[in-house]
Amino acid sequence: MSDAFFTEYFYYKSLGFTAKIKKLLHSEESPWQKIDVYETERIGKLLTLNGKTMVSELDEFVYHEVLAHVSYAVARQHRRVLIIGGGDGGVVREFVKHPDIEQIDLVEIDERVVEVSKIYFPECTVGLSDPRVRVLCEDGIKFIEEKIDPGSYDIVIIDSTDPEEMAEGLFTDRFYKAINRALSPEGIMLAQTENPFLDEFGLKKIYDNLRAAFPSVESFTAPIIIYPGAYWSFAFASKKFRGTDLNPHKQAQMQKLQQTLRWYNMDWHRGAFALSNFHRKQIGQE
Ligand code: SAM
């Protein structure tokens, strides 16, 4: 397999991301999706779902640090955290670094993603054994709509696959309204929202859906080199706060933590919310 390559095709199958692979380490069809793990030549181990890149050892820290610490640094309350999707465990790993979080629920539809990640990405799943973490293998949409009392969580993270198949419903106004109800009065939601350039899934519609559910909606980006086009956007939605409203009481704590992180620091956080004209237009921001 020495000259073999993995390629994910995107943007209506007109572009691609390619990685030279040393070995296919694992391949299976779970009830939900095809799960593959490759040993690559340059980006370490690579997890793909239905042929789409999810996690590489080279850059997973960017995505996972960003989702966890941007939300935590702004949050005034942070006792209970919910992550929908995210079966690789990377976002949980970052949240467990905050000792004052009491409960972290991970709701991943496909338990095989969790199990495969435990074998091949132990550095991502290390937080799953923390006593504050509950791993629930079920549909995040049903979970939030049918099982959760209003105000149950302070932070909700949507760490999903693309808006298609079982993840399509994670990008609707109905779902975002259900998240709003599940959040406490000062609650915050973050979600991955695709590439604003290669706008295959209708970014403006996703942000319109968010604006229908939350009074404060913003967007920011971070580079994820294995995702289509590398320029990746995230949504920050809140009942009360803006993305740059860092909690002044957490400054010392975040200052200390950021010395141990590889991507996140508070300067980057503030700057990430300054958007280009292009990005504003793509998300329909006035
Ligand atoms: N960071 C990745 C990305 O953007 O490419 C996402 C990583 S994570 C592995 C995405 C997870 O979302 C998948 O494991 C998938 O099974 C899960 N997922 C998709 N739809 C879901 C749903 N309705 N409820 C819960 N989890 C879901």
Same domain assignment for residues 19 and 127: no
What tens-digit pLDDT sequence spans the chain (286 residues)? 468 999 999 999 999 999 999 999 999 999 999 999 999 999 999 999 999 999 999 999 999 999 999 999 999 999 999 999 999 999 999 999 999 999 999 999 999 999 999 999 999 999 999 999 999 999 999 999 999 999 999 999 999 999 999 999 999 999 999 999 999 999 999 999 999 999 989 999 999 999 999 999 999 999 999 999 999 999 999 999 999 999 999 999 999 999 999 999 999 999 999 999 999 999 999 7
Cβ of residue 128 lying under 6 Å from some atom of ligand 1: no
Residue 199 buriedness (CB in 10 A; 0-12 / 13-18 / 19+): middle
Report the number of distinct structural domains present in the chain.
2
Which residues carry out catalysis?
159
For residue 106, how far is its CA from the centre of ligand 1 (angstroms)? Answer: 11
Residue identified by tokens 């991943």 is 108
Q: What is the CATH number of the domain that holds 262?
A: 3.40.50.150
- Single residue among 25, 40, 56 that ends a domain in this structure: 56
Cβ of residue 193 lying under 6 Å from some atom of ligand 1: no
Same domain assignment for residues 147 and 127: yes
The domain containing residue 37 runs over which residues? 4-56
Which pLDDT does position 258 carry in this prediction?
98
* Residue 119 near residue 176, CB atoms below 8 Å: no
- Single residue among 56, 77, 96 that ends a domain in this structure: 56
Same domain assignment for residues 139 and 177: yes
For residue 169, how far is its CA from the centre of ligand 1 (angstroms)? Answer: 12
Same domain assignment for residues 83 and 218: yes
Same domain assignment for residues 16 and 82: no
- The DSSP-derived string for 203-262 is HHHHHHHHHHH-SEEEEEEEE-TTSTTSEEEEEEEESS--TT---GGGHHHHHHHHTT-S
Q: For residue 63, what is the enclosing H or E element?
A: helix 60-74
Same domain assignment for residues 111 and 11: no
For residue 86, how far is its CA from the centre of ligand 1 (angstroms)? Answer: 5
Residue whose CA is at the smallest distance from ligand 1 atom 17:
85
Cβ of residue 136 lying under 6 Å from some atom of ligand 1: no
Same domain assignment for residues 27 and 118: no
How large is the C-alpha radius of gyration of the chain? 18
**Residue-wise pLDDT tens digits, 34-61:** 999 999 999 999 999 999 999 999 999 9
CA distances 29 to 33, 36, 112, Å, are 6, 9, 9
Cβ of residue 56 lying under 6 Å from some atom of ligand 1: no
Same domain assignment for residues 136 and 230: yes
* Residue 192 near residue 160, CB atoms below 8 Å: yes
